[in-house]
């Protein structure tokens, strides 16, 4: 009886300790301030500050279906119905999207950037890696259509923003004219398995089953519920997949799997030779610009020449 009590006690300690600790790291990952990201991007010459200041941008706020505010900027530089929505990665915010806004403004698109839930100025209690964010993206799309009417729009996503975008397109509504996925993971399970190995030297069987139960209890979803790979199977509109080959955080093989999963309509792939995680544009700017412009040409989206 004592042995069984000890076994049960140890299991409870393991179940509570492992489950709570790892879900705490996932749901409440540390985020960066707007000022710190702006200064980081500026100091590393990732955008032209004079050009950025020359563009008129209007702040907006719209309520998420989950009760908090989503805040962002609208850059309306042209009399055009061509728009791009930019979705940023985990821990950063809309100031990380300035370099992508610059790209699309140069191409003649108007641009919308915004903060994901629990990032920047937006509300929200947890980070869910696309599970809830995909519906926030739907809210953003609906808001832009409501205020601008009949538009042709694309979505560019980086890292978690790319995962959010793919799950929006595959699971919610495939409503954009095109998508650009930069350094997404294929499935949350595969990414967590990789990070457990790299950061903690732990196998997935020791952590993920328990953590998945805790995620469901604490935030309403299992690990398997976050799957850009499954979503991509359902996307009909054109997708450009981008990743840096040296990426140490999300291996570029994730994007290769996503590319192979896109079996309907147009798909293109660009694997940059230089750059760490989310650095494909920063380290390969001319090539990145060229690839995006070529992709738009291929799918028949009119834009300015660079």
Q: Per-residue pLDDT for 1 more than 90?
A: no
Compute the distance between CA of residue 298 and CA of residue 28 in angstroms, rounded to an integer: 41
Tens of pLDDT, residues 114-144: 999 999 999 999 999 999 999 999 999 999 9
Q: 171 and 26 in one domain?
A: no
Q: Per-residue pLDDT for 300 more than 80?
A: yes
- The stretch 238-259 carries a mean pLDDT of 98
Q: 166 and 117 in one domain?
A: yes
Question: What's 64's domain CATH number?
Answer: 3.40.50.1820
Q: Considering the chain, what is the average pLDDT of its residues?
A: 96
Q: 147 and 66 in one domain?
A: yes
Write out the residue range of the structural domain in which residue 201 sits.
1-30+191-225
What is the model's pLDDT at position 10? 79
Q: How many CB atoms lie within 10 A of CB 160?
A: 27
Q: 236 and 115 in one domain?
A: yes
Q: 217 and 230 in one domain?
A: no
Q: 215 and 87 in one domain?
A: no
In Å, how far are 78, 124, 194, 229 from 121, measured between CA atoms? Answer: 26, 10, 31, 30
Q: 145 and 93 in one domain?
A: yes
Structural domain total, the chain: 2
- Please classify residue 34 by burial: count the beta carbons closer than 10 Å to its beta carbon, then call 0-12 exposed, 13-18 middle and 19+ buried: middle
Q: 81 and 178 in one domain?
A: yes
What is the model's pLDDT at position 12? 84
Compute the distance between CA of residue 135 and CA of residue 62 in angstroms, rounded to an integer: 13
Q: 276 and 240 in one domain?
A: yes
Q: 141 and 20 in one domain?
A: no
Q: 2 and 81 in one domain?
A: no
Tens of pLDDT, residues 191-246: 999 999 999 999 999 999 999 999 999 999 999 999 999 999 999 999 999 999 99
Tell me, yes or no, whether 304 lies in a domain.
no
Q: Looking at 225, 249, 273, which one is the last position of a domain?
A: 225
């Amino acid at each position: 009886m004592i042995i069984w009590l000890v076994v049960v006690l140890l299991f409870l300690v393991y179940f509570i300790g492992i489950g709570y600790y790892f879900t705490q790291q996932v749901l409440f990952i540390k985020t960066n301030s707007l000022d710190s990201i702006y200064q980081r991007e500026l100091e590393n010459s990732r955008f032209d500050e004079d050009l950025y200041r020359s563009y008129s941008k209007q702040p907006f706020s719209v309520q998420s279906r989950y009760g908090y505010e989503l805040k962002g900027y609208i850059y309306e530089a042209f009399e055009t119905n061509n728009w791009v929505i930019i979705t940023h990665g985990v821990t950063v915010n809309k100031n990380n999207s300035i370099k992508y806004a610059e790209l699309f403004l140069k191409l003649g698109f108007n641009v919308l950037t915004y903060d994901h839930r629990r990032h920047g100025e937006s509300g929200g209690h947890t980070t869910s890696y696309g599970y809830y964010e995909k519906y926030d993206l739907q809210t953003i799309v609906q808001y832009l259509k409501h205020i601008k009417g009949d538009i042709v729009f694309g979505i560019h996503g980086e890292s978690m923003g790319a995962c959010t975008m793919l799950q929006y397109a595959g699971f919610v509504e495939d409503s954009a004219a095109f998508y650009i996925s930069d350094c997404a993971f294929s499935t949350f399970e595969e990414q967590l398995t990789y990070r457990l190995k790299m950061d903690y030297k732990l196998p997935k069987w020791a952590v993920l089953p328990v953590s998945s139960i805790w995620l469901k209890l604490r935030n309403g979803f299992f690990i398997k519920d976050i799957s850009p790979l499954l979503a991509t199977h359902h996307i009909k509109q054109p997708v450009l997949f981008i990743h840096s080959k040296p990426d140490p955080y999300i291996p570029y093989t994730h994007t290769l799997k996503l590319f192979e999963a896109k079996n309907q309509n147009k798909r293109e792939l660009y694997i940059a030779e230089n750059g760490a995680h989310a650095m494909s544009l920063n380290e390969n700017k001319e090539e990145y610009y060229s690839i995006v412009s070529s992709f738009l040409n291929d799918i028949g989206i009119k834009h300015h020449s660079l």
